[in-house]
Amino acid sequence: MAAYITRRLAAILPTLFLVLIIVFFLIRLIPGDPAAVMLGPDASPEDIERLRHLMGLDQPLMVQFGRYLLRVFRGDFGMSIAFHMPVTKLILQRLETSFLLALCSAVVVFCLGVPPGILAAVKRNTLIDQFLLMFALLGASIPSFWLGLMLMLAFAVKIPLFPTSGFSSVFQTGNLANFRYLVLPSLTLGFVNSALVARLTRSSMLEVLQEDYVRVARSKGVRESRVILKHALRNAAIPIVTVFSFTFAGLMSSAVVTESVFALPGVGRLVVESVLRRDYPTIQGLMIMIAFLYLIINLITDITYAFIDPRIRYD
Amino acid sequence: MRRYILLTLLCVGMVFGVLAEQPKYGGTLRYATIGEPPHLDLMLVTSDLASTIGQHIFETLFTFDEHYAPIPLLVDTYEVRSDGREIVLHLRQGILFHNGKELQAEDVVASLERWGKYGIRGPIMFQHVTAVVADDKYTVRILFETPFGPWQSLLAFNNGGPMIIPKEIAEAAGGKPLTPDQYIGTGPYKFAEWIPGKYIRLVRFEGYKSREEPPTGYGGARHAYLDEILFIPVPEAGTRLAGVQAGDFDYAEMIPADLYSVVKADPNINTYLLRPPFMALLFRNTKQGIMANNLMLQAVLAALDMEPIMKAAFGELFELNGSIFPKGTIWYSTAGTERYNQANLDKAKELLKEAGYAGEPIRLLTNTSYQYMYQYSLVIADQLRKAGMNIELRVYDWATMVKYRAQSGEWDLFVTSHGPIPDPALLTALSPTYPGWWDTPQKNELVNLFNTTVDFKDRYAIWEKIQALWYEEGSCIKLGDFYTLNISSAKRVGGLDDPHQPPLLWPYFWNAWLKG
Amino acid sequence: MFKVLWRRKIGLGGFIVLISICLVAIFAPFVAPCDPYQLNPSIRLQPPNRAHLFGTDMFGRDILSRVLYGARLSLITGFSVALLSGTLGVGVGVVSAYFKQTGMILMRINDALMAFPEIILALALLAIAGHASLANVIIALGVTYAPRMARTAYGLALRIREFGYIEAAQAVGSGSFRIIFYHLLPNLISPVIVQTTFTCALAVLGAASLDFLGVGVSPEVPSWGAMVNEGRIYITIAPWVIVFPGFFVALLVLALNLLGDALRDALDPRLRRLV
């Protein structure tokens, strides 16, 4: 097991390097340059040229790449052109928001996805089942930007229960009340992402409930709730865990739309902002981080499988 | 007995009432900004935010009064000799830098030279300068090859301008932006710290020597009542507004024009429309393409109805004004403005025919990065189409639009906006290298003459000629003036309603105080 | 087809809604009360009234007309992306199943692409394309959703391999091309149709999200997502600007999903397991 983990971790580095190369050259294909964005509408072409020169943007591409690579090996991902702070610091700041949002949304996804999914499987083809299926379908169909705005309209504008937008740090201020900024966004994200989990839980449970060992457990006189929760769920868990972990990864990195609606300073929005502002160092740093995130989550998921299902071994 | 009590109460009330309006020393003002400046080296940056923050730290030789005319700040008296080929500046004495050093002529010389060499607007003046010398401890002499009319405005304009820093720092920094430990100026507030993403903090400079005259515009006395000023980046407008309402901030900038009715109605919020306003502009390509024909310019001028154009983008916060410079500034002029806002579709159609326009596509560049630009470009396109022009709207983000704009074969019209400037010499639209490329001998001659004349009355006369020419053959069409909307907490902030200290473009707080 | 749909009434409902939206989109010029491009700044931000059933937006344009025309963009995008990703995906998936070695490599790349967050992938592709025309949006989304289809096609094609059709055909001497076209593809049609319907739903949602973020098509063209984006800052004073366009996105996507579900249940009960 330990050897397997080490192997996997070692394989991550070359992948990240590949990502870096691809991203570096790809984003420079995008027309427009950061100097123009920084200086704004009043700048004359000479001003822009002067800034480009100052930023080293007129150097040949390979030279720029070489310099960047050297710095990356020292752990320095450069300065964000748009935000004037080290890229690592910038991403970490945004990461806090995205992480907390993902966490809260994951809780919502679980609550809206797993118990109802189990219930629907147990009460198959009844009204409850149909209701859940409709609910899940709705979640998969409703655009997150619209749901978010409607929630905002209802619970922040018309009835001012929650703040409409923005975010105040929880970690830096230690103020737990700042979670109120995350309530509406996590409800939005949670509802939309719970659809898949609910359906998968239901179908996975349905399959498992037909298996022999479930019938055996029932005939042994085990209580029904125990049958479901202990025996069936354990075996149904694998696909649920898969979907859940990738949903979490997705929540971290691609909650762009929800972050945009609620003005949350998260990673998703940072991607859009840095692309619009041609903030090359930030885009590069972000892509590496996202790739890294996915690779790690992949690894953790695989390890979790081994714990859930003793039959799986990684020798 | 009752009468005595009433009288006493009245007196006490009056005393409190008067006291309530008196400035109080102390407190921290929290200013919610739209973002963060790239840095605070005012010589090397034109970001409005940098000027807003930096003007508290750094000072210039001159500054602007309530009519946006230049007046002395660090200078005490000055003389203009040899028809403007020689400017002699006598500095005020006993002015201290934040590091305790006294301001002397050598610091001014070093600062001006750095600005002339590396500053954004420095070269505009310094291409005419032969030397800057320190005659004695408090006298500086600037020698010009030819008289340079805009000298005073340029020395007063701190945006990309000549802030005065100690000689040692000017020499050490060279062409690189000052680092935070080099933010040493003479202003009423000194730089304390900058935590990126959190705030920039300024604290009162106890050794500040204020001018004696009553405040007028940026000039006159600066009392520095506040202990500290915090500039906090809050990128979302809605959050900035909500923050002031909730008491998290005392002042917030750039509130969207459409929320004006909302904030105006709120008794706890004071609104400020910053002056001078920005200019909404439409440029045409005079170098290449269909729009290079002057008759096409006239056709566009005839077709445009400016009110709906400005309204769509700015709600009520705009003013129709054909003069390049706003009313109330010294450069305001009506020369040529009879061609502004004609809203005459028939005349436009006739002019199109006369120009020989046969329905060729006219490429209008716009962008979605600046929402208001996108909004007025839609209305412009609609109006020009009604006049018979085949407008092809090209929508990009700002960076991409700038890229295409630089290539003369790629566009015929584009929209943009420019911030206010104190002197026509700083108008980028007059530069032959700015996209639009207005480069006729007539214009170049007038601009040259304008820049080498020193007397204001003479310069103004020349400017009127330039503006008239602008409407005949220029590359830029003025759409109107628009205002930035800032707000403050009415309960907390005082000192911002002095009629002699109008809300100027870069909000200043050296005479503001916190109530209660 | 209809017999099948009759049995699942909800699916029928979805089908009807979809057809209605298609009809509205096609006949928009006749159904819409106003010109969706007509600017009228003097009546901007009016609440729903008799003259403008859904109200007016910040330029004074009639929202109802823009919503009706917006259906065109959503439907064209949805169908085009579904077609593109379907073709690409099936192509890659089937070829990978047939040519085992290259297939495994292709599928690895495919999985990598699939793991990448969709919206970021689409965003990156769009940014590189330069400016966002409808064609670019379709290509970007088509490439983003193709991996799913490829996965499905690959899995199914592998299963078909195991049934022995392929070996038998090879034994008889049929060429690869023939085998792929006459043996593999026909067996894939049902699941592909189902997956395509779902992809269409995802595409409508994805395109609306891109328009909402401001990186989709030019906002001049009536687009539901762009309408919500433009109307955002007016949420406190004119919520109708965002309520209606967003609702229709949900409606169309729901209809497509319902249809997809019904088709799946009807065409292949085995597919119920493949979520």
Which of C:85-124 have CB within 8 Å of A?
Answer: 115-120, 123-124
Token pair for C161: 């391999």
Query: In this structure, are residues B184 and B41 in contact, taking their beta carbons and an 8 Å threshold?
Result: no
In sequence order, the 6+-apart residues with CB closer than 8 A to the CB of C39 are B308, B312, B378, B379, B382, C59, C60, C61
| 3-class state of residue B94 by DSSP | coil
SS3 A152: helix
Q: Calculate how close chain B gets to C27, using CA atoms only, in Å.
A: 24
* Closest CA of chain C from A146, distance in Å: 5
Nearest chain C residue to B238 by CA distance is C233
Is B378 an 8 Å CB contact of chain C?
Answer: yes
* A283 token code pair: 């885009």
Q: Is the pLDDT of residue C176 over 70?
A: no
Q: Quick one: which of A101, A63, A251, A306 has its CA closest to A186? A: A101
Among A249-253, A254-258, C257-261, the minimum mean pLDDT is found in A249-253
A137-166 residues touching B, CB cutoff 8 A: 163-166
- Class of residue A224 by CB neighbours under 10 A (exposed 0-12, middle 13-18, buried 19+): exposed
State the residue for tokens 């990009």: B396
The amino acid present at B320, given as its one-letter code, is: L
Residue of A nearest to C129 (CA): A30
Beta carbons of B253 and B403 less than 8 angstroms apart: no
pLDDT of residue C200: 94
Provide the β-strand partners of residue B102. Answer: B96
Q: Which residues of C touch A30 (CB under 8 A)?
A: 127-128, 130
Q: Which of A257, A268, A275 sits opposite C127 (nearest CB)?
A: A275
Q: Least CB-CB distance to C236: which of B262, B308, B378?
A: B262
Q: Which residues pair with B396 in a beta bridge?
A: B367
Closest CA to C140 of C221, C77, C225: C77
Candidate from C59, C233, C237 with C-beta closest to B378: C59
Of A127, A298, A239, A122, the C-alpha closest to C275 is A239
Query: Are B150 and B62 in contact, with CB atoms under 8 Å apart?
Result: no
Tell me: cis bond preceding B150? Omega within 30 of 0 counts: no
CA gap C275, C272 in Å, rounded: 7
According to the per-residue pLDDT averaged within each range, which of A10-14, B22-26, C234-238 is highest? B22-26
Q: How far is C182 from chain B (nearest CA, A)?
A: 47
Please, are residues B241 and B471 in contact by the beta-carbon 8 Å criterion?
no
Element (H, E) at C177: helix C176-178
Greatest Cα pair distance in chain B: 92
- Nearest residue in chain C measured CA to CA from A205: C273
Name all chains with 3 or more CB-CB pairs below 8 Å to chain B: A, C
**pLDDT score for C4:** 47
Rounded to the nearest angstrom, the minimum Cα separation between B84 and chain A is 28
Length of chain B equals 516
Q: Which residues of C touch B266 (CB under 8 A)?
A: none
Q: Using an 8 Å Cβ cutoff, are C193 and C103 in contact?
A: no
Residue of A135, A147, A274 whose CA lies nearest to A195: A135
Residues A246-259 have a mean pLDDT of: 79
- The nearest CA of chain A is from the CA of C174 a distance in Å of 39
Q: Which residue of C has its CA nearest to A29?
A: C128
Average pLDDT over residues A178-197: 86
- The winner for highest mean pLDDT among A222-226, B403-407, C36-40, C264-268 is B403-407
DSSP result, B325-368: SPTTSTT---TTGGGSS---HHHHHHHHHHHT--S-EEEEEEES
3-state secondary structure of B273: strand
Q: Could you tell me the residue ranges of all domains in chain B? A: 28-240+486-514, 278-482
With an 8 Å Cβ cutoff, are B261 and C237 in contact?
yes
Is the pLDDT at A69 greater than 80? The verdict is: yes
Which pair of tokens denotes residue C142? Answer: 């088509």
Chain B residue closest in CA terms to C44: B312
| A27 contacts on C by Cβ (under 8 Å) | 127-128
Distance from the C204 Cα atom to the nearest Cα atom in chain B, whole angstroms: 22
Compute the mean pLDDT over every residue in chain A, rounded to the nearest whole number.
81
Nearest CA in chain A to C235: A153
| Minimum-distance CB partner of A254 among C120, C232, C261 | C120
Q: Who has greater pLDDT, B277 or A162?
A: B277
B48 φψ region: left (φ > 0), alpha (ψ -120 to 50), beta (else):
alpha
B225 φ, ψ to 5°?
-70, -40
Q: Please, which residues bridge with residue B171 across strands? A: none
Identify any residues that bridge with B513 across adjacent strands, giving them in sequence order.
Answer: B494
Task: Identify how many contiguous H helices and E strands chain C contains and give both numbers.
Answer: 12, 0
Q: Which residue of A has its CA nearest to C200?
A: A141
- B386 part of contact set with chain C, CB < 8 Å: no
Instruction: Count the neighbouring beta carbons within 10 Å of the beta carbon of residue B362.
Output: 24
Q: β-strands B251-252, B485-489: how paired? A: antiparallel
Say how far residue A239 (Cα) sits from the centre of its chain: 18
Q: How close, in Å, is residue C225 to chain B by CA atoms?
A: 15
H/E segment holding residue A298: helix A280-308
Pick the CATH number of B278-482 from 3.40.50.880, 3.40.50.300, 3.10.105.10, 1.10.30.50: 3.10.105.10
Give the pLDDT of residue C266.
75
* DSSP character at residue B341: S
Sign of the dihedral through C-alpha B168, B172, B176, B177: negative
Closest C-alpha to B68, from B456, B336, B443: B456
Q: What is the pTM of this model?
A: 0.80
**How many Å apart are CA B191 and CA B185, to the nearest integer?**
9
Q: What is the pLDDT of residues C110-125, one digit of tens each?
A: 877 776 777 777 877 8
In this structure, are residues A105 and A193 in contact, taking their beta carbons and an 8 Å threshold?
A: yes
Angle at B144 between CA B140 and CA B148, to 5 degrees: 105
Model pLDDT, residue A219: 78
Burial per residue of B33-42, b for 16 or more beta-carbon CB atoms within 10 angstroms, e otherwise? beebbbbbbb
| pLDDT the model gives residue A54 | 78
On the CB side of B141, how many CA atoms lie within 13 Å of its CA?
Answer: 11
Residue A13: pLDDT band with limits 50, 70, 90: confident
Cβ distance of A93 and B197 shorter than 8 Å? yes
Task: Tell me the nearest-neighbour CA distance from B374 into chain C, angstroms.
Answer: 9
Token readout for B8 is 């006493």
The pLDDT profile of chain B, 516 residues, written as one tens digit per residue, is 666 666 666 555 555 555 556 788 999 999 999 888 888 999 988 888 999 999 999 999 999 998 888 999 999 999 999 888 999 999 999 999 999 999 999 999 999 999 999 888 888 899 899 999 999 999 999 999 988 989 999 999 998 899 999 999 999 998 888 999 999 999 999 999 998 778 899 999 999 999 999 999 999 999 999 999 999 988 778 788 888 887 888 999 999 888 888 889 889 999 999 988 999 999 999 999 999 999 999 999 999 999 999 988 898 899 999 999 998 888 999 999 999 999 999 999 999 999 999 999 999 999 888 889 999 999 999 999 999 999 999 888 888 888 899 898 999 999 999 989 889 988 988 988 899 999 999 999 999 999 888 888 999 999 999 999 999 999 999 999 999 999 999 999 998 988 888 888 899 999 999 986
Question: b or e along B64-83 (b: 16 or more beta carbons within 10 Å of the residue's beta carbon)?
Answer: bbbebbbbbbbbeebeeeee
State how far the Cα of C224 lies from the Cα of C217, in Å rounded to an integer: 11
Whether B399 and A277 lie within 8 Å, measured CB to CB: yes
Q: Looking at the complex, does the CB of residue B368 fall below 8 Å from at least one CB of chain C? A: yes
Helix (H) or strand (E) holding B485: strand B485-489
> Among candidates C144, C163, C159, which has minimal Cα distance to C191?
C159
Q: Does residue B32 sit in helix, strand or coil?
A: strand
Chain centroid, CA C94 distance in Å:
22
Q: Answer whether B393 sits within 8 Å of C234, measured CB to CB.
A: no
pLDDT at site B415: 96
Q: Which range among A3-17, A192-206, B196-210, C145-159 has the greatest average pLDDT? A: B196-210
Distance of CA C108 to the CA centre of its chain: 25
Query: Can you read off the two tokens belonging to residue B128?
Result: 């005419």
- Is residue A313 very low, low, confident or very high in pLDDT (cuts 50, 70, 90)? low
Inter-chain contacts counted by CB atoms under 8 A, chains A and B: 88
Question: Among the listed ranges A199-203, A235-239, B9-13, C256-260, which one has the minimum average pLDDT value?
Answer: B9-13
Q: What distances in angstroms separate CA B260 from CA B269, B314, B318, B485, C45, one per listed residue?
A: 11, 10, 12, 8, 15
Closest residue to A37, CB basis, from B36, B235, B398: B398
CB contact under 8 A, A143 and C235: no
Indicate the length of chain C as a whole number: 275
Q: Identify the structural domains of chain A with CATH numbers, from first to last.
A: 87-308 (1.10.3720.10)
**C254 to chain A, closest Cα gap in Å:** 5
CA distances for A85 relative to A66, B39, B190, B235, C98, angstroms: 22, 11, 22, 16, 51
The confidence band for C187, taking pLDDT boundaries of 50, 70 and 90, is confident
Chain C residues touching A143 at Cβ < 8 A: 205, 208-209, 212, 225, 246, 249-250, 253
CA distance B94 to B382: 61
Residue in chain A closest to B50 (alpha carbons) equals A39
According to the model, what pLDDT value does residue B4 have?
A: 66
By Cβ distance, the residue of B368, B378, B396 closest to C39 is B378
Q: Give the residue on A whose Cα is nearest the Cα of B421.
A: A42
Spell out which residues of chain A touch residue C118, defining contact as CB-CB under 8 Å: 254
Q: Would the CB atoms of B235 and A84 count as touching at under 8 Å?
A: no
Calculate mean pLDDT across residues A172-185. 75
Write out pLDDT tens, residues C195-206: 899 999 999 999
Query: Which of C77, C85, C90, C67 lies closest to C21 in space, CA to CA?
Result: C67
- Cα(C155)–Cα(C177) distance, rounded to whole angstroms? 19
Are the CB atoms for B208 and B224 separated by under 8 Å? Answer: yes
**Mutant choice from A38, A81, A84 vs B, greatest count of B C-beta within 10 A:** A84
The answer to whether residue A31 scores a pLDDT higher than 80 is: no
Query: In this predicted model, which residue has the larger pLDDT, A160 or C122?
Result: C122
Per-residue pLDDT tens digits for B403-430: 899 898 999 999 999 989 889 988 988 9
Strand partners of residue B374: none
B28-240+486-514 has which CATH code? 3.40.190.10
Hey, which residues does B477 pair with through a beta bridge? Answer: B282
pLDDT at C258 over 90: no
- Cross-chain residue pair C273–A298, CB shorter than 8 Å: no
- In DSSP terms, B280 is beta-bridged to B417, B480
Pick B187 or A269 by higher pLDDT.
Answer: B187
* A144-152 mean pLDDT: 90
Closest residue in C to B376 (Cα) is C59
What is the end-to-end Cα distance of chain A in Å, rounded?
A: 6
Query: Which residues 9-68 on chain C approach chain A with CB closer than 8 angstroms?
Result: none
Quick one: which of B64, B75, A275, B281 has its CA closest to C119? A275
Q: How far is C261 from chain A (nearest CA, A)?
A: 9
- Range in A161-170, A287-296, B217-226, B478-487 with the lowest mean pLDDT: A161-170
